[in-house]
Homo-oligomer: A and B are copies of this chain.
């Protein structure tokens, strides 16, 4: 019952079709939620049935008909209820961390490569987040925007995403470096 709140939050940006959501959802949530298209379509259907969102069909001449969904007042009420309910603890799951944790008992080479690859991915995300944030705050500087902008939620979560990815990139590079040094000295394994 949590995906639906993430979907509601995403739809606050404006009405969207399942297809559009599916493409922007992960990035739009600044990587603090993830869902596959199939899940989103299913959830949107259920949410409409429950009255939290409302769909309207848009017939296109050259493309298949799509359904654009927007949050209803019942949806807003549900979000309010959600905001007031106690939050579950954050939930991180990362294969790469597991690999690093076990690195003393495996060969380090592959792990080093994956750390470097992950650093690059993180850097790319940093770029996306920074561009999004620049666009959001426009001419204002960050402080001014946060003090008086009228929609700061997405900006704030993006800030968290940005810092998370910066830490990820730093840690990956540093860890890769340390493991490489040791590989040079030791005989791998």
Q: A-side interface residues toward B, CB under 8 Å?
A: 2, 5-6, 8-10, 12, 29-34, 76, 79-80, 82-84, 86-107, 110-111, 114, 118, 121, 146-147, 150-154, 156-157, 159-160, 163-164, 167-168, 170-171, 175, 178, 181-182
Contacts and interface: CB of A to CB of B under 8 A. Distances in A.
The listed residue with most B CB atoms (<10 A of its CB), out of A88, A98, A151, is A98
A101 B151 CA distance: 9
A154 B121 contact: no
Copies of this chain, tallied across the complex: 2
Identify whether the interface residues of A are mostly helix, strand, loop, or mixed: helix
Given A147-B182, A167-B167, A79 B106 contact: yes
A87 B156 contact: no
Contacts of A111: 83
Contacts of A171: 159-160, 163
B97 A30 contact: yes
Contacts of A100: 153, 156-157, 160
B94 A32 contact: yes
A5 B173 CA distance: 23
Nearest to A157: B101
Given A29-B101, A88-B95, A101-B157, 13 more contacts: A9-B102, A33-B97, A33-B98, A80-B106, A83-B111, A87-B95, A90-B97, A91-B92, A100-B156, A103-B152, A104-B152, A156-B178, A164-B164
